[in-house]
Chain A
């Protein structure tokens, strides 16, 4: 018996040793290797210090090459770690593990507070911010700020407009609605005439619905890390309930669809003329064309107009999406990383490639104010000067939003409530109340004092 025990003990001991040795090896290779070797791009100046970058812009290769050829003090090593949620999950895992994160990471503005609260991002205020401050609007800076700190270099935004189909509008003799009341009236008119759905209320796009809430003056979140542990959550005020009840009404009357967006089902509906309008951001044409919209029978039918308003006397511009480059606290040289964050996608050639191919709507004021950009005739909109008429004014008037460190949970909870509105089990007001309870409860669990 004893023999077995001794054997077992020694085996277990050796095994633990072997496992510890393995993980030890990983550690040493992780910290000893100065030069990352798995870059997607080729680094042309191998002797310079290297900053790692995660980004998913379709033209990142070109952008990074431009940066590297223009800089003689630092080189960028770029990896595409997935777009949106995929990248966030990987970055989150690296943050939790305390290693494996890149020096600079691409984040959508609404995700910044989540990672900032975990002390994963570096405040860029004293890291060259003043040199580029004049290049972006106040709203753009607000979106990447948490409290008084700035945690990202703004790159692109998503000022919103109403994309619509001219053929459907002509057929049913309607003009682009300028208020939400007109929007509903037009939708009813099209439906009564046997036409298609007028819009869509997607459960899987809570960020989009949040923008709609902002447009009516809702301020769902108040958050400043300076007031430690405090968060303001106001998801069931009158402004929010009015918007959700409005959309619940449109859904109930069958005026808009309830299809998840960014799905083959939705895109096939868009191409097939199932929706008269698509309320979306300035990046939408690029996305839609990539998905095959505007290429066949539905070519030259698209146009865009400003978003309908609640109060036409006081129009409000809102934003959906848009990304920034943030420096992570795992960066070996934060100052150098900040230089990359501010410098990548900031040169003229990269920005021009981005907006001309409709990959991004740049926030850089050099572009926003250039006649070439403002007066551009957009092919997708059949030559309409979309920037001048819709998107540049919307970007100029945009005030910025306050995002929340519990954004991931908020979106997940909101998706459930939009689904409840869509399947008719809740009114807009009831959904707002349920959302408030759900999110406030989670915030309390996370240790926040909810105000």
Chain B
């Protein structure tokens, strides 16, 4: 709506620099026609801007401006005694030598290396099974396996927090039945696996749906041809299905990598139950949260966010580069 008010503006700039598509006709036809054409052209421009407008406003106001402001803030250092000072990249130098930040990055990298293969293997296996078996039960299972993704992260994490309980959780009961004491998935030693399980449970169904949809898109005549050539079911899976799934697998890998490096929700919720095992600098995002909202250091928090963004960018770039070169990263 704002663009419409500036409609007449373009005519000011007429004459001097003809638009490229006007170049041919400008010399042969009269001024009237040119103006008309320009009007049509500018009207089209206005329409274009109108269409882009709503998105543009949201994009600028909610993405570009905040990011720009955060970048600006990250160049200042805030301390109780000295107040706020401009330090240019000083905060970034600090972040990349800050054991809390580096420890957090190291954790999410380790977590990604274990989580992503597990998650992909689980979702791929389920997708392949559901693709092979066609019955009412398969359709029901598909829904059930997808269900955890429909449960809000907060509720999922809380639920697992209670399931892990050693006083009233079912895991403790199962171990108790055999006279053993159950593992404490909320202790410092096992929290890695506790979180691994929560995240896999929550996301495997979602990735399974992506892979399943990709499997549905494969032309069934390929299977027929393979069978005529004497391929077994296993060979069809390995040689045809998984190969053709590669783009979808790469896609979910990138999703999972970005999501895991920004790990926040699950540990933040479970921190309420296990503050000892999940300190405030557990992951880089949690550390940014602590700096901003507990320690009132929005500047350093912005720095951490950008530094994490850089880490994510580098990781994804390396991954894309590697897969691009080999063509097929599974082979």
A-B interaction: yes
One of B78-86, B113-121, B209-217, B303-311 at the interface = B78-86
Cα A3 to Cα B298 in complex, Å, equals: 40
Residues of A within 8 A of B273 (CB): 260, 263-265
Cβ of B331 under 8 Å from chain A: no
Chain A: minimal CB distance from B64 (Å): 10
Q: Nearest residue in A to B13 (C-beta to C-beta)?
A: A2
Cα A448 to Cα B186 in complex, Å, equals: 36
Residues of B within 8 A of A365 (CB): none
Cβ of B293 under 8 Å from chain A: yes
Q: Are A446 and B79 in contact (CB under 8 A)?
A: yes
Q: How many residues of B contact A (CB 8 A)?
A: 48
Given that A11-B2, A419-B279 are known contacts, is A272 also in contact with B45, CB under 8 Å in the complex?
no
One of B49-57, B145-153, B197-205, B320-328 at the interface = B49-57
Q: Are A446 and B167 in contact (CB under 8 A)?
A: no
Please report which residues of chain A, range 1-55, place their CB below 8 angstroms from some CB of chain B when the two chains form the complex: 1-4, 6-7, 10-12, 14-15, 18-19
B291-320 vs A, CB cutoff 8 Å, 1 = contact: the mask equals 001111010000000000000000000000
Residues of A within 8 A of B137 (CB): none
Residues of B within 8 A of A228 (CB): 81
Q: Are A447 and B79 in contact (CB under 8 A)?
A: yes
Partner of A204, one of B65, B80, B276: B276
Cα A82 to Cα B276 in complex, Å, equals: 23
Chain A: minimal CB distance from B102 (Å): 15
Cβ of B135 under 8 Å from chain A: no
Q: Are B276 and A258 in contact (CB under 8 A)?
A: yes
Residues of B within 8 A of A85 (CB): 294
Residues of A within 8 A of B41 (CB): 3
Cβ of B3 under 8 Å from chain A: yes
Cα A85 to Cα B277 in complex, Å, equals: 19
Q: Are B167 and A11 in contact (CB under 8 A)?
A: no
Partner of A117, one of B57, B80, B279: B80
Cα A447 to Cα B65 in complex, Å, equals: 31
A411-451 vs B, CB cutoff 8 Å, 1 = contact: the mask equals 01001101100110100000000000000000001111000
Partner of B81, one of A408, A415, A446: A446
Residues of A within 8 A of B19 (CB): 1, 3
Chain B: minimal CB distance from A5 (Å): 9
Chain A: minimal CB distance from B122 (Å): 29
One of B4-12, B25-33, B254-262 at the interface = B4-12
Q: Are B279 and A412 in contact (CB under 8 A)?
A: yes
Residues of A within 8 A of B187 (CB): 423
Q: Are B276 and A422 in contact (CB under 8 A)?
A: yes
Closest CB pairs A-B (n = 4) = A203-B276, A447-B81, A204-B275, A419-B276
Known: A1-B19, A6-B12. 7 other contacts (CB 8 A): A7-B9, A260-B276, A412-B290, A415-B280, A418-B276, A422-B188, A446-B81
